[in-house]
Structure 1
Amino acid sequence: MIYNILDFGAIGDGIQNDAPAIQKAVDACSRSGGGRVLIPEGKVFKAGSIVLKTNVELHLEQGSFLKASDSLEDYHWVDGINKISQNSESKVLSYVNCEYNGKPFQYFIYAKDEKNISITGPGKIDGTEELYYGEIDQYHIEGSYYPRIPMMLLENIKNLIIKDVTLARSGFWTVHMAGCYDVLIDGIKILNNLKMANADGIDPDHCKNVRIINCYLECADDCIVFKNTKAFEQYGDCENIFVYGCTMISTSSALKFGTESENNFHNILVENCTINRSNRGISLQLRDCGNIENVKFSNIKIETRKFSNQWWGSAEPIYITAIDRKDGVKAGHIKNIQFENIHCNSENGIFILGSEDNHIENITFDNILLSMKKISKWDIYGNDIRPCAHDGIVERKINGLFVKYAKNIKARNLKIHIDDSMKAFMGDEIESDQVENINI
């Protein structure tokens, strides 16, 4: 059965808050056993908070437009949040540190403890990013407070589908899924401002049995980010995830693990993806106690280039680090990671850095082509290991492959080509230090 929001009082003039009418349609649909809540074409439906319910498909027709409200008063509070803490100005810049337990203050599109929820259709959802603007400069827009309102916060949902929609201009994490089970994200577009801090694309947080396929993502910070945040640690590990056929552009990392990692990541497969114009390609970035194990990347094209230091990263196509976030917070372990058939064009090399008491283990590279060429205007100074307990900018000559504090590193058919434009920045083609059993 179809529940057209116009029949429940929605106006669609882009001025009135249509969230109450949309909510009436959602509630009626779920109460009657389920169906499709229709966002029709040809109008602009401005809305504050919407709560999705069991057996509801929110469907956006071609030409439909759902726009997040430009007033914070239209957004409801997440349970358990102290309202006094909301809207405080950021005390620390996001690129210096942005520790986050995973739970925002308010929400736009929200669901919790439900099942069989879908968000579908060729229409568009706009996050009204300008509501969150803080300091603005040529390369970076700092948020006015932190954490801000995600476009979607979906917690403990069984059987979740997000398909075909376009999600644009989010002011914070776009699709945050916490503790969700059996998820399909298929054919969506995320078109965020590449200057907007913390505007991640898809964040599977403690999620299980997830498929992310055929998506196009432009995001700042990261495109697809596997998380294990503190606020949702009751949902356990992030596991059994398949990413296929996605195209990504990022001002930070296109594919990232962490840095929030209170539980483990394992059994994750990424195949047949393309990464363009990104600050980092693949980033395994442990800073908390969880571990990363049994992950494979195959048939991936990576193009990385330098950006402003207002973004974490230094054009590393593959970046693997396990570093304590701060004194007393021990990073977990990384082991059993495979890279196969990876073609990289970059302004930096592959970077692997563990810690003296925490070696990275069992990393395999098979059929890797790395072409290094200077293409941006930014200086190449070394590597970036933020966030960490000390200064995270490491000034040094770079390498095609750098490995420190690791064991059992194997590379077969690794080809490194260094263009003349890079030679002033290069040390040895391959550098290893305190590595046990390296075979290249």
Structure 2
Amino acid sequence: MIFDITHYGATGDGVTDDAPAIQRAIDACADNGGGRVTLPAGRTYLSGTILLRSFVDLHIESGATLAASPHDEAYTLRRQTSGLAGLPGQDTDLSTMLITAKGEKNVSITGGGTIDGGGRHFVIKDNGHSYEMEKVRPYTIYLIDCERVVIRDVVIRDGAYWTVRASGCRGVQIHDISIRNDTLLPNSDGIDIDSCQRVNISGCDIVTGDDGICLKTCRESTRYGNCEDVVVTNCTIVSTSSALCIGSETASPIRKVVFSSCVISGTNRGITVQMVDGTDVSNVLFSDIVVETRFFDRVWWGQGEPIHVSVAPFRAASGTVRNIRFRNILARSEGGVVVHSDDPGCISGLVFDGVRVEIDRWSGRPGGFWDLRPNLANDVVPHTTSGFHVEHVSDVSLRDCEVVFAQPEGHRSPDLRHAVELVAVEDVRRCDVRGTSADPSRWSAMVRDRQPIDA
């Protein structure tokens, strides 16, 4: 059955709030056993909060736009989330949302049309490298505790906050969507998968500020269990922070995850696993990925690391990261691979297999800094740069890896050091790395507190 929202009073003039008419069409569709609610082409439908229901396909036709209202009062449903602040006890404001559902089954958002998240309406000030934003601004799509979710083919632009968030959902399919956010808009993540199971994301083209595709287990979602059985493949991502990310919200375990066949460009951090809560991330595979990372303003996390794995107590005691594989990764970056734990025994079972890191400098910004945020220090600190820096890790292997310093010898940035630097590492099963240090006359690859080794 087809339910045309204009038959329920939607004007599509881009001025009138069409949310009540859209909701009437959704309710009629659900009350009649389900079907498709259509937004006809050629119009812009201004809207506040829309509540999806079971067995309803919200279909935005090619040439139609669903536009988020600039008026805060248009967002009639508000929920407590942990996303608005970084530390416990600071989340006092309720979050708003454009399209949402809770506890529904067989919900979908489809069509070749556009969802305009209206991020520009919530900008307070342009600071040059990022915007100062209203604290409360809407999630574009926020689905909670839903079964069998499909989001396909839509174009989403100018997200005001996390663009697509699924929390505690089972059986999530997100395919062939395009996200075009302002890359200076903080927290405008592309896709956030929070405490979900059986998730498949493919063919998505994402340009966004902050994380591109991120797996989380937020504090308000722990009742829904682990985040697990997730596959992300064939995506292209441009991000002002991390492109493919696990964390930093990790209140319950994340495991059994595959990221493959993706291309990452223009990003502060390429592949990120950041553990700041006392839980576990395990059995994760990153494979067949091309990465390009660069320096940017320090308001954004990251120092050009193609791969970043860190464990630091922030909201709770240190958790663990176990059995992570990086296979067939080609990286051109301004920073090096960083694996770091504040405490020993938290990171184990890491394998780098066929990882090539070419370190070059092209942004015009200086190197020689480390960014381990999020952590309690919450700052960037001076530090040298190596192709691979691995610290406080046990059971690590580097197989058929390569480090290249692209700047000509004698003209390399002064912070560049070793091809490989291992610090307080236990059980190095293999260290098979081609390449030399940035200045072979001064530095070889180093194992701190042990004898130097060549690599």
TM-score range, shorter chain: over 0.9
Is residue 380 of structure 1 aligned with residue 367 of structure 2? yes
1:379 Cα offset (Å) = 1.3
Question: Match of 2:73?
Answer: 73
* 8 A Cα contact 2:344 2:393, kept in partner: no
Deviations 1:11-36 (A, max 9, x none): 00000000000000000001101100
1:394 Cα offset (Å) = 2.3
Question: Match of 2:427?
Answer: 437
Distance in 1, Cα, partners of 2:93 & 2:31 = 28
Is residue 192 of structure 1 aligned with residue 184 of structure 2? no
Report the residue type matching 1:275 in the other structure: I
Question: Match of 2:330?
Answer: 343
User: What root-mean-square deviation, in Å, do the aligned CA atoms of Structure 1 and Structure 2 show?
Assistant: 1.7
Distance in 1, Cα, partners of 2:78 & 2:329 = 42
Distance in 1, Cα, partners of 2:337 & 2:344 = 22
Report the residue type matching 1:373 in the other structure: D
Distance 1:60 1:182, change over 3 A: same
Question: Match of 1:255?
Answer: 244
Distance in 2, Cα, partners of 1:79 & 1:124 = 25
Deviations 1:360-392 (A, max 9, x none): 101001111111110102111221011211243
Query: Counterpart of 1:12 in 2: which secondary structure?
Result: coil
Report the residue type matching 2:196 in the other structure: C
Is residue 135 of structure 1 aligned with residue 125 of structure 2? yes
* 8 A Cα contact 1:41 1:61, kept in partner: yes
Is residue 354 of structure 1 aligned with residue 341 of structure 2? yes
Distance in 1, Cα, partners of 2:280 & 2:138 = 28
Distance in 1, Cα, partners of 2:14 & 2:362 = 43
Instruction: Judge which range, 100-109 or 378-387, deviates more.
Output: 100-109
Question: Match of 2:166?
Answer: 177
Question: Match of 2:115?
Answer: 125
* 8 A Cα contact 2:80 2:93, kept in partner: no
Distance in 2, Cα, partners of 1:312 & 1:50 = 33
Question: Match of 2:295?
Answer: 306
Question: Match of 1:63?
Answer: 63
Question: Match of 1:45?
Answer: 45
* 8 A Cα contact 2:204 2:235, kept in partner: yes
Aligned positions of 1:145-160 closer than 5 A: 145=135, 147-160=136-149
Is residue 394 of structure 1 aligned with residue 394 of structure 2? no
Within the candidate set 215, 231, 250, 1:242 is matched to 231
Distance in 2, Cα, partners of 1:412 & 1:376 = 30
Query: Counterpart of 1:131 in 2: which secondary structure?
Result: helix
1:155 Cα offset (Å) = 0.2
Query: Counterpart of 2:21 in 1: which secondary structure?
Result: helix
Percent identity between the aligned chains? 34
* 8 A Cα contact 1:101 1:229, kept in partner: no
Is residue 210 of structure 1 aligned with residue 199 of structure 2? yes
Question: Match of 1:87?
Answer: none
Is residue 411 of structure 1 aligned with residue 398 of structure 2? yes
Distance 1:318 1:103, change over 3 A: farther
Report the residue type matching 1:281 in the other structure: G
Which is greater in Rg? 2
Deviations 1:385-425 (A, max 9, x none): 11211243121111000011101110111110002264422
Structure 1 segments (4+ residues) deviating >4 Å:
97-104
Distance in 2, Cα, partners of 1:158 & 1:230 = 20
Report the residue type matching 1:68 in the other structure: A
Within the candidate set 265, 274, 295, 1:285 is matched to 274
Distance in 1, Cα, partners of 2:139 & 2:157 = 12
* 8 A Cα contact 1:101 1:231, kept in partner: no
Instruction: Judge which range, 211-220 or 348-357, deviates more.
Output: 348-357
* 8 A Cα contact 1:102 1:229, kept in partner: no
* 8 A Cα contact 1:114 1:156, kept in partner: yes
What runs of 5+ residues in structure 1 fail to find an aligned partner? Answer: 82-89
Instruction: Judge which range, 228-237 or 421-430, deviates more.
Output: 421-430
Within the candidate set 259, 263, 271, 1:270 is matched to 259
Distance in 1, Cα, partners of 2:106 & 2:93 = 23
Distance in 2, Cα, partners of 1:5 & 1:332 = 49
Distance in 1, Cα, partners of 2:312 & 2:345 = 8
Query: Counterpart of 2:302 in 1: which secondary structure?
Result: coil
Question: Match of 1:84?
Answer: none
TM-score of the pair, normalised by structure 2: 0.90
1:103 Cα offset (Å) = 9.1
- Number of aligned residues: 424
Distance in 1, Cα, partners of 2:79 & 2:303 = 38
Instruction: Judge which range, 354-363 or 125-134, deviates more.
Output: 354-363
Report the residue type matching 2:45 in the other structure: F
1:38 Cα offset (Å) = 0.2
Distance in 1, Cα, partners of 2:203 & 2:196 = 19
Distance in 2, Cα, partners of 1:288 & 1:101 = 17
Deviations 1:89-112 (A, max 9, x none): x9xxx8xx5778799522211100
Distance in 2, Cα, partners of 1:344 & 1:72 = 42
Question: Match of 1:20?
Answer: 20
What runs of 5+ residues in structure 2 fail to find an aligned partner? Answer: 432-455
